[in-house]
Amino acid sequence: MLLAIDVGNTNTKFALHDGEAWRGSWRASTASTRTADEYAPWLAQLMGFQGLAFSDVTRCIISTVVPQALFNLRNLSRRYVGQEPLVVGEEGVELGIPLRIDNPREAGADRLVNAVGAHVVYGGPAIVIDSGTATTFDVIAGDGGLEGVIIAPGINLSLQALHTAAARLPRVEIRRPDQGMALGKNTVHAMQSGVFFGYIELIDGLVARLKREEEPRLGAPMKVIATGGVASLFRGASQSIEIFDEDLTSRGLLEIFKRNGGTL
């Protein structure tokens, strides 16, 4: 069984695949100082609810945008899986896609994994919108190549900035305003509206621009795929998102594992 670990700036996702299907997935807040021995009992207990144990795990693959977290997760694989993990971005780990950006070394591991996952599951060309600490837009060509990326602040980051920088603005829940209208009638409604509808317009506007700029060059309409921790918030509100796939990164990790000779 494969343990696929995706470390984002805010959350870390652990997922298990048995060679035929995903058997479980769990999230924890990302903490670069959390040791292997702290991760292990937490993960073992959650695996136990699914009738699984570390003894079922034979391989491990890791993708991380937090370099400080890698040491402890590598130790988790060594001690509790008994294997050296495959780490996306390290020398010798093949992605199987071209990177058509100025400096491929700058590409975050999550960008690479999402590109692989989107292409193998949905084909291309495509736009992948990943909503996390940052909101990113990856353009994937028909051959799976990463053409480029747009990076914007994430919705949680924007709300946090409003609360932190403005003395009289409270911390509010991220949600579509109950009133359903954009114009706020009180502070909470106004903040929720600005962030929620603002991000819908950000997404739909940037997708429209990318389609205008890139589809003639790529030669086909681009599918629009959303993933990430808060992507589901936009379901039914965005006019441009066609596919919601919260497991896209895990699917990419599984494919990279296979492309590097991994078997289960």
Closest among 158, 121, 151 to 137, alpha carbons compared: 151
Residues counted in the chain: 264
What are the φ/ψ torsions at residue 260 (nearest 5 degrees)?
A: -105, 25
From the candidates 6, 110, 130, 245, which is the catalytic residue?
110
Q: Which two tokens stand for residue 152?
A: 């914007």
**Is 110 annotated as catalytic?**
yes
Can you tell me the distance from the alpha carbon of 58 to that of 56, in angstroms, rounded to the nearest whole number?
A: 6
Amino acid identity, position 133: T
Q: Cβ distance 118 to 110 under 8 Å?
A: no
- How many other CB atoms are found less than 10 A from the CB of residue 30? 19
Instruction: Please give the torsion angle defined by the CA atoms of residues 217, 219, 220 and 225, in that order, rounded to the nearest 10 degrees.
Output: -40
Catalytic residue ranges: 110
